[in-house]
A and B are shown apart, each in its own frame.
Chain A
Amino acid sequence: MKDETSVLVNIIAFLILFVIGIYIYSVAIDTGAGIKITDNITPTMRVADKYLNKNVLDDNSTYQWGGTAEDTAANIVTSVVVDYRLFDTTLEVIVLFITILGFGFVIPKDKRKIIKPTTILNRWAPILMLLMLMIGGYTFINGHLSPGGGFPAGAIISTAILTGVLTGRRTISQKSLKIIEAITGISIFSIGIISYFLTGSFFQNFILNDKIGDLFSGGLIPIFYGLIAFKVAAELSNIYFEFYEE
């Protein structure tokens, strides 16, 4: 009985894999308008060529909205990560969420004693926490202008909570962390669905025509980065509280 069900599960898994394989193959040889994966023999078909021929260093050049996605942010890496590859980041965040679910099962919830920290750490912890929060906020607010982004910003914000955990302070409760995580996760995907109905594809930027290089530019990029930063920070902080739950 048990063997029959496992054989059935294996057949279903193979069918799903087969469908995914057909999907990947059809994307790879698709002769649409986009850039194909298998057909990059000619250099002009590659993505890298598009970036190599992009020139913004000329003094006389006036930067105009060219209608392509990489014109939204001053930082070219950000525009690639958010405008083209936001699915990667959102699915990474989901992988992190599943990891934290696993933490709850593996780590036994017994009583742990918190060792009292030294005076230096105890006094300096609030100052360090404020500093880390400020750097993290700067990283995701300025993510479309300077190097940075949602994922490292979330990691830096969670280091503030790590400092609090090391000194034995309960800065934020686990319930509010879960609420923050749920709200940010729902809003990322609801903004994606809204942009699907407005523009026709998921996670496409629909706030356009603002001056490049301003703080309030880049359309949806700072919003997505803020949401991703808070989601990552909540998830990583959950790990620390799993280790140090009273």
Chain B
Amino acid sequence: MFLSVIIAVIMIFGAMWTIVTEDLFKAIVIFAIVSLSSSIMFLLMQAPDVAITEAAIGSGITTGLFIFTYKKVEEEKDER
């Protein structure tokens, strides 16, 4: 019970921080933390199937693709 409240607070603050922060890379990492804690939330809500999908796609692949895109954006900035 307390664990779910703590995770909910972490999720809300992480989501706010993702929007507010200026640094793109910081936003990507905090977004990964938000989706990882949401996967724990799914596990606490007795939905392990959704938790596995969220952990694999939400915090694994999405973060990887965002970091690839971040690298490309930085490269284009350097060329200009």
Interface residues of A (CB under 8 A from B): 77, 139, 147-149, 151-152, 155-156, 158-159, 162, 166, 236, 239-240, 243-244
Give chain B's interface residue range (CB within 8 Å of chain A). Answer: 10 to 19
CB pair A158–B61 under 8 Å, yes or no, is yes
CB pair A152–B56 under 8 Å, yes or no, is yes
CB pair A155–B65 under 8 Å, yes or no, is no
CB pair B61–A147 under 8 Å, yes or no, is no
Task: Give the chain B neighbours of A166 by CB distance below 8 A.
Answer: 64
Quick one: which of A147, A156, A243 contacts B68, CB cutoff 8 A? Answer: A243
CB pair B64–A155 under 8 Å, yes or no, is no
Stretch among B2-10, B13-21, B47-55 lining the A interface: B47-55
CB pair B48–A159 under 8 Å, yes or no, is no
**A-B contacts besides A155-B57, A155-B60, A243-B65, 11 pairs, CB < 8 Å:** A77-B49, A139-B52, A148-B49, A149-B49, A149-B52, A149-B53, A152-B49, A152-B57, A155-B61, A159-B56, A166-B64
Q: Which 8 A-B residue pairings sit nearest by Cβ, starting from the closest?
A: A147-B48, A155-B56, A152-B53, A243-B68, A147-B49, A152-B56, A152-B52, A155-B57
Task: Give the chain B neighbours of A152 by CB distance below 8 A.
Answer: 49, 52-53, 56-57
Interface residues of B (CB under 8 A from A): 48-49, 51-53, 56-57, 60-61, 64-65, 68, 72
Given known A-B contacts A147-B52, A149-B49, A239 and B60 have beta carbons under 8 A apart? no
CB pair A236–B48 under 8 Å, yes or no, is no
CB pair B53–A155 under 8 Å, yes or no, is yes
Q: How far is the CA of A152 from the CA of B48 in the complex (A)?
A: 12
9 pairs from A and B in contact (CB 8 Å cutoff): A152-B49, A152-B56, A155-B56, A155-B61, A156-B60, A159-B64, A162-B61, A162-B64, A244-B68
Task: Give the chain A neighbours of B51 by CB distance below 8 A.
Answer: 147
CB pair B49–A156 under 8 Å, yes or no, is no
Task: Give the chain B neighbours of A155 by CB distance below 8 A.
Answer: 53, 56-57, 60-61
